Homo-oligomer: A and B are copies of this chain.
Amino acid sequence: MKKLINEVENVEQEMIQGLVKSRPEKLEKLEAGNIVVRKTRKQGKVALVSGGGSGHEPAHGGYVGEGMLDAAVAGPVFTSPTPDQVYEGIKAVATDAGVLCVVKNYTGDVLNFEMAVDMAKDEDIKADYVVVNDDVAVKDSLYTTGRRGVAGTILVHKIAGAKAEEGASLEEVKSVAEKVIANVRTMGMAIQPCTVPAAGKPGFELGEDEMEIGIGIHGEPGTHREKLAKADDIAKHLLDKILADIDYAGKEVVVIVNGMGGTPLMELYIINNFVQDYLKEKGIKVYDTMVGNYMTSIEMAGFSLTLLRLDDELKKLYDAPADTAAIHK
């Protein structure tokens, strides 16, 4: 294993400290754990909390800040944070308006966030959660009942975050988060695996000319493996699966061309070149495009495509200001 780290057991903590120290006036780490919170919080605003296993940076700590999350709770690499840790995050940022947790659909995350929300309610904190399941690749998977939550989660952070910032109620913020979930779809692939530091070796292996289509963000299996194809053909395959899932015809969309961590920007832009032409051909108008590393799998090489179907409300909230390490508007 060749990594730029110190001790394997300190990876998560040092990373969270490093993130916070890159924006010391905006972010702090709680003593209680690997939990990033905004330094300045607004009373009366619904607080947004997300999190999950580490290894998906900048998710989720990189999305803490004005217009997006209030707290992000980081578990060990590819492992859910405990209910206690999530509860610490909720408690730290809770307001009278309540707390909404944004959870990616993995069995461990859903269980632990659900328990944390119950713990919060026991302490008279108004709390609720939504589950993101944007990955169209597989129905159930290694760690999931139902579809997995992947890069589309970022758009839930963005849009629900903007709604909360407007002073909306917990019910209203939850409702717009669910609207994003209903309208966002993602699919990914990989050409190189990643190595969990504590494991010391790659989570899976791929042949010299092989790729995995529909891969999850923990390297869990997708739909199939095949010979590495041209970027355009791969992007077309992913888009076709996404476009078959809900009707995008005549709609405006936000596109995310997301790198898995080890994919150079050169390749993401080449993929975007095809994506934009193909959507145009299909009569789908692109409202905005994000190209970069938004939901990663450590140093995995590969990418995912996300399409969010917009309406006027989602557009307005997508455009609202955001001031986080990873997204600035």
Stretch at the interface among A14-22, A100-108, A156-164: A14-22
Contacts of A293 in B (CB 8 A): 265, 293
Shortest Cβ distance from A233 into B: residue: B6
Q: Is the CB of B18 within 8 A of A269?
A: yes
Shortest Cβ distance from A12 into B: residue: B266
In the complex, how many residues of chain A place their beta carbon closer than 8 angstroms to a beta carbon of chain B? 61
Contacts of A277 in B (CB 8 A): 21
A128 to B271, CA, bound (A): 36
Contacts of A191 in B (CB 8 A): 2-4
A205 within 8 A of B: no
A111 within 8 A of B: no
Known: A266-B54, A298-B264. A5 touches B231 (CB 8 A): yes
A281-308, CB < 8 A from B: 289-291, 293, 296, 298-299, 301-303
Stretch at the interface among A55-63, A80-88, A143-151, A173-181: A55-63
A257 to B232, CA, bound (A): 32
A198-238, CB < 8 A from B: 208-209, 228, 230-232, 234
A167 within 8 A of B: no
Q: Which of B192, B264, B328 contacts A261 (CB 8 A)?
A: B264
Q: Which of B2, B3, B55, B267 contacts A4 (CB 8 A)?
A: B267
- Chain A window 7-28, contacts with chain B (Cβ cutoff 8 Å), 1 for yes, 0 for no: 1000100111111011100000
Q: Is the CB of B5 within 8 A of A270?
A: yes
**Cβ-closest 10 pairs across A and B:** A18-B269, A18-B273, A57-B265, A18-B272, A4-B267, A21-B276, A22-B289, A15-B269, A264-B299, A261-B264
Task: Give the B-binding residues of A (Cβ under 8 A).
Answer: 2-7, 11, 14-19, 21-23, 54-55, 57-58, 62, 191-192, 194, 208-209, 228, 230-232, 234, 257, 261-274, 276-277, 289-291, 293, 296, 298-299, 301-303, 325, 328-329
